[in-house]
Amino acid sequence: MVTVRNTRQNVIKAAGRLFAEKGYHGTSMRDLGRELGLLGSSLYAHVESKQDLLVEVVEEGARLFHASADAALAAGGSSSARLRQLIAGHVGVVLENPDVVRTYLNEARMLDAEHRSRVIAARDAYEQAFRQVIGAGISDASFRPDLDPKLSSIFLLSILNALERWYRPDGAVDGSQLVDEVTEFALAAFKH
C-alpha cells in the first residue's frame, strides 16, 4: 500500500466530486479531508478557504466550455456544421468532466457576488456562440426563418445542460449516439 501526498490539483478534483454529489453547503472540509485521507484542517496547506475550492472548480468548468466553443467556431464550415461542432463539444465536456460540470451548473450560485457575476458573464458569452450560429443559419436559410435565435439557443442549451442530470455512461446510449440524438433533435427543430 502506497500513501501519496496530495497536490492542490487533486484536492480541487476531489472537491468537485463532493460538491457535485452533495452540494457545496452539504460538503464539509472534514468530508473532503476524509475523501483524501487527511484531516480537514490539513486542507489549508493546499487552499486558502472552502470558497476558494468552489471558485477553482467552477472556473475550470467555465474554461472547458469556453475552449469547446472556441474550437467549434474555429473549425469553420457551414452554420449547421458549426452547430454540430458546438453540440458535440458540449456533450464531450459533460461526459468527460461530469463532476466539474455538475458543480459549474448547480453550485455556482453559492459563490460570492463577485465570482458569481463572472460566471454569469462567461455563460452569457457561451450562449452567444450558440445564438450567433443559429442566427447565421437563419440568414443563410439553413434554418427556418421564424426561429427565434435567443429562445432556441436557450432550448438547445437546456437539453445539453440537463445531460448531467440523467445520462449515465453505462446505460444503453453511448457518447457518440448521444451526440447524434441531440444533434438530430435540434436540427429537426431548426430546419424548414
Position among 13, 23, 35, 40 found at the interface with DNA (CB under 7 A): 40
Among its own copies, DNA, none, what does residue 186 contact (CB within 5–8 Å per kind)? Answer: its own copies
- Are the CB atoms for 54 and 110 separated by under 8 Å? yes
Among its own copies, DNA, none, what does residue 171 contact (CB within 5–8 Å per kind)? Answer: none
89-94 CB contacts, 8 Å cutoff, 24+ apart? 90/65, 90/157, 90/160, 91/160, 91/163, 91/175, 91/178, 91/179, 91/182, 92/68, 92/175, 92/179, 93/64, 93/65, 93/68, 94/160, 94/163, 94/164, 94/167
State yes or no: residue 115 binds DNA (CB under 7 A).
no
Residues 6+ apart with CB under 8 A from 4: none
State yes or no: residue 78 binds DNA (CB under 7 A).
no
Among DNA, its own copies, none, what does residue 152 contact (CB within 5–8 Å per kind)? Answer: its own copies
Among its own copies, DNA, none, what does residue 9 contact (CB within 5–8 Å per kind)? Answer: none
* 51 vs 161 by CB, closer to DNA: 51
Among DNA, its own copies, none, what does residue 181 contact (CB within 5–8 Å per kind)? Answer: its own copies
Stretch that binds DNA, among 25-33, 80-88, 145-153, 155-163 (CB under 7 A): 25-33
Residue 119 half-sphere exposure toward CB, CA atoms < 13 A: 23
Phi, psi dihedral angles at 60 (to 5 degrees): -65, -40
What is the sign, positive or negative, of the torsion defined by CA atoms of 81, 144, 156, 130?
A: positive
- Are the CB atoms for 49 and 29 separated by under 8 Å? no
Position among 9, 22, 49, 155 found at the interface with DNA (CB under 7 A): 49
State yes or no: residue 155 binds DNA (CB under 7 A).
no
Q: Where does this chain bind its own copies (CB under 8 A)?
A: 23-26, 106, 110, 144, 148, 151-152, 154-155, 157-159, 161-162, 165-166, 173, 181-182, 185-186, 188-190
Residues that bind DNA (CB under 7 A): 5-6, 27-31, 33, 36-42, 44-46, 48-51
